[in-house]
Amino acid sequence: MEIQLSWQVVFTLLSLVVTAMKTPAKNLPITDKAILITGCDRGIGYILAKQLDRVGFHVFAGCLQDKEKGSKELRSSCSNRLQTVQLDVSKIWEVKSALQLVQQQIATRGIQLWGIVNNAGICYVGNVEMMTEADMQKIMSVNYMGPVNVCKFFLPLLRRSHGRLVNIASNAGLAPVPLLGVYCASKSALVTMSEVWRYELKMWGIKVATIIPSGYKTGIMSYDMKATGDRWWNQATQTVKDDYGYECFYIKFKQKNRERFLSADFSDICKSVEDALLSPKPQSHYYSGFLAKSLPFIYLYLPIWLSDPLMNVLVNWFEFKPKMSNQRQGDNT
């Protein structure tokens, strides 16, 4: 009888533990919480600003061009809780100006800055021999130093609210993609810095999460590739021009209809960001999209004899045939 009773007690306790683990914790209230989001002109930032406004946050939507289409659409389609902010994260004076505006607004509205979402990012396709130094620095200044600049000035507000820091990185920050080397480096730096912040900011009660998306129509590669190629070609050394050839400066995607392989549904990313902002125990990393987890796993954990062929398939995105390489292949035949 005693043994039977003991097993009943153990079973009951186990059932309670399992139930507790499966029962999601109640999210924190949204009332009087403000969020700063960078890069809201389009893509993830634009959709995220609308979604967080919809669920009740006060949103400061940082836009690279506050008087252009994206910011105008946000102001016209969202509640009066949302306010657009002129914010180029690579320019210290604009970050300082945004801080002053946010400080004034949260004091006037009687709210607190609860969260920062570092989303702004840019990308150029090319290798370091072809890219100009200015363009490489620009990628790093937006994708890595941008979040650093924002945190440097806004973290005092998060310390007072014991709020949340959310950084939008990329699967390209966890695994290499040929011809996206500088972009990969910038996102890798952000991933590492995000983890450093996660440890550093625990003492202040600030929780940090990193979002790893892949395969979305963010518009990050919608820049003028022809004008960029012209600029790079004009500044390249003669040796680089001779070795690579003119065509390599105008890189094309292998998938002619690549857009149909990208998702325009950002709901999974929005859910991840909401959870990172409101869950009592947010995850350290949130992955969205097929390549977000699979690419880093293949690259980091499989043996090279298996990972290299798979990586060659999964990240072989661009047409790129240097002139000198073609000549060498011809000589070998």
Strand residues in 181-245 grouped as ranges (E): 207-213
Tell me if 218 sits within 8 A of 143, measured CB to CB: no
Question: Which of 85-94, 108-117, 190-199, 324-333 has the weakest average pLDDT?
Answer: 324-333
Angle (nearest 5°) at CA 85 between 196 and 190: 20
Is 70 exceeded by the pLDDT of residue 59?
A: yes
* Separation between Cα atoms, residue 89 and residue 147, nearest integer Å: 7
Is 50 exceeded by the pLDDT of residue 1?
A: no
In the predicted model, what is the mean pLDDT of the chain?
A: 90
Is 60 exceeded by the pLDDT of residue 117?
A: yes
How many angstroms separate the most distant Cα atoms in the chain?
A: 91
What pLDDT shows up at residue 20? 47
pLDDT band at 50 (very low <50, low <70, confident <90, very high): very high
Write out the DSSP string of 3-24: HHHHHHHHHHHHHHHHHHHHSP
* Separation between Cα atoms, residue 61 and residue 249, nearest integer Å: 35
Query: To the nearest 10°, the Cα dihedral for 124, 130, 135, 136?
Result: 90
Question: Can you tell me the mean pLDDT for 228-253?
Answer: 94
* Separation between Cα atoms, residue 237 and residue 221, nearest integer Å: 25
Tell me if 310 sits within 8 A of 297, measured CB to CB: no
Across 110-119, 221-230, 258-267, the highest mean pLDDT is recorded for 110-119
Q: Which residue has the tokens 């910011």?
A: 71
What pLDDT shows up at residue 326? 58
What pLDDT shows up at residue 100? 98
Question: Can you tell me the mean pLDDT for 192-208?
Answer: 98
Kindly state the tokens that stand for 330.
């011809």
Question: Can you tell me the mean pLDDT for 252-269?
Answer: 78
The length of the chain is 333
* Separation between Cα atoms, residue 212 and residue 291, nearest integer Å: 10
pLDDT band at 214 (very low <50, low <70, confident <90, very high): confident
pLDDT band at 256 (very low <50, low <70, confident <90, very high): confident
Q: First CA to last CA across the chain, in angstroms?
A: 86
What pLDDT shows up at residue 217? 75
Question: Which of 151-155, 161-165, 292-296 has the weakest average pLDDT?
Answer: 292-296
* Separation between Cα atoms, residue 272 and residue 209, nearest integer Å: 10
* Separation between Cα atoms, residue 19 and residue 215, nearest integer Å: 35
Question: Which of 26-30, 117-121, 281-285 has the weakest average pLDDT?
Answer: 26-30
Is 50 exceeded by the pLDDT of residue 317?
A: yes
What pLDDT shows up at residue 289? 86
- Give which of 139, 43, 31 is closest to 81, Cα–Cα: 31
pLDDT band at 218 (very low <50, low <70, confident <90, very high): confident
Task: Report the DSSP beta bridge partners of residue 277.
Answer: none
Map residue 212 onto helix, strand or coil: strand
| Structural domains of the chain, with CATH | 28-221+258-317 (3.40.50.720)
Question: Can you tell me the mean pLDDT for 175-180?
Answer: 94
* Separation between Cα atoms, residue 221 and residue 219, nearest integer Å: 5
Q: Which residues are known to be catalytic?
A: 183
